[in-house]
């Protein structure tokens, strides 16, 4: 069984479009994250939700809007996509105050 | 802003050789984690160190956390082609909701 899953795996779209990426974890964790990994493999946190509440919101354009319908899901909606949004987006989850984060397989977003 | 610098950025060695990857910061972290990422997949946790001066061993991998909890190293003994991958260090700060700050990564290539 997949612990942290993301859909889609690949997303190719035109500039200006709106798209969503979905994340689900079946680990029973209460905290979920979105990270962006650029072409140089630098991994940067974007958002974190704990029990459906936003707890970390890094300096991210407001075109990016996370939504957590329940503890097991954290989706990322991106409006008016730009070329610079092309990257791999990773979802991760964690339980309580433990340090370990479990990452999903990533969604490779390509904006043309 | 906490920054983690990894060195070297790229390491190519022959099977059987030893290697060391460094992770340095001017900031103090509650914990330091090492991840390994394969192409097309998410990072997978190798180890977490939380105590200054702590040394952890995982088969041929040895991880050390600096006394001041600002730096860490990963040493691989008798590297094998299966050790090839992107190694990422990440510092966690409990006071910041356990937000992880990642280093830029070290790409390791072990040639048979």
How far is it, in rounded angstroms, from Cα A106 to Cα A73? Answer: 15
Residues in B closer than 8 angstroms to A104, CB to CB, are 42
Number of C-beta neighbours around residue A10 at 10 A: 10
Beta bridge partners of B22: B7, B73
Q: Which residue of A has its CA nearest to B47?
A: A100
pLDDT beyond 60 at B1 = no
Residue A50 has a pLDDT of 87
pLDDT beyond 90 at A41 = no
Average pLDDT, integer, range B77-105: 89
Give chain B's radius of gyration (CA, Å): 13
How far apart are the CA of A101 and the nearest CA of chain B, in angstroms? 8
Residue B73 has a pLDDT of 97
- At residue A54, the 3 state secondary structure works out as strand
Residues in A closer than 8 angstroms to B94, CB to CB, are 97
Residue A2 has a pLDDT of 66
Q: Across all residues in chain A, what is the average pLDDT?
A: 92
Average pLDDT, integer, range B47-58: 94
pLDDT beyond 90 at B15 = yes
Please count the CA atoms within 13 angstroms of the CA of A33 that sit on its side-chain side.
Answer: 25
pLDDT beyond 80 at A83 = yes
Q: B48 falls in which pLDDT band (50, 70, 90)?
A: very high
Average pLDDT, integer, range B11-25: 97
Q: Flag the least confident range among A9-23, A40-54, A74-88, B55-69.
A: A40-54
Residue A40 has a pLDDT of 83
Residues 17-56 of B with CB under 8 A from A: 30-31, 33, 35, 37, 40-45, 48, 50
CB contact under 8 A, B48 and A100: yes
CB contact under 8 A, B88 and A92: no
Residues in B closer than 8 angstroms to A101, CB to CB, are 33, 45, 100
Q: B61 near B46, Cβ under 8 Å?
A: yes
Q: Does A72 touch chain B (CB under 8 A)?
A: no
Q: B10 near A74, Cβ under 8 Å?
A: no
How far is it, in rounded angstroms, from Cα A15 to Cα A19? Answer: 11
């Amino acid at each position: 069984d997949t612990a942290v899953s993301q859909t889609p795996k690949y997303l190719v779209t035109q500039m200006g479009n709106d798209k969503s990426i979905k994340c689900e974890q079946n680990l029973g964790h209460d905290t979920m994250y979105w990270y962006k990994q650029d072409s140089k493999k630098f991994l940067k946190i974007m958002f974190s939700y704990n029990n459906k509440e936003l707890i970390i919101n890094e300096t991210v354009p407001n075109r990016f809007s996370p939504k957590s319908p329940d503890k097991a899901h954290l989706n990322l909606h991106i409006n008016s996509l730009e070329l610079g949004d092309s990257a791999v987006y990773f979802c991760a989850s964690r339980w309580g105050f433990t340090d370990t984060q479990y990452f999903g397989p990533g969604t490779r977003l390509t904006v043309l | 802003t906490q920054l983690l610098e990894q060195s070297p950025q790229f390491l190519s060695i022959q099977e059987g050789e030893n290697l060391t990857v460094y992770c340095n910061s001017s900031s103090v972290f509650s914990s330091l984690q090492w991840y390994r990422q394969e192409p097309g997949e998410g990072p997978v946790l190798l180890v977490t160190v939380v105590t200054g001066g702590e040394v952890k061993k995982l088969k041929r991998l040895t991880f050390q956390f600096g006394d001041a909890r600002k730096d860490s190293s990963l040493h691989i003994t008798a590297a094998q082609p299966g050790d090839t991958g992107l190694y990422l260090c990440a510092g966690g700060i409990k006071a910041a909701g356990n937000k992880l700050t990642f280093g830029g990564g070290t790409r390791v290539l072990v040639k048979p």
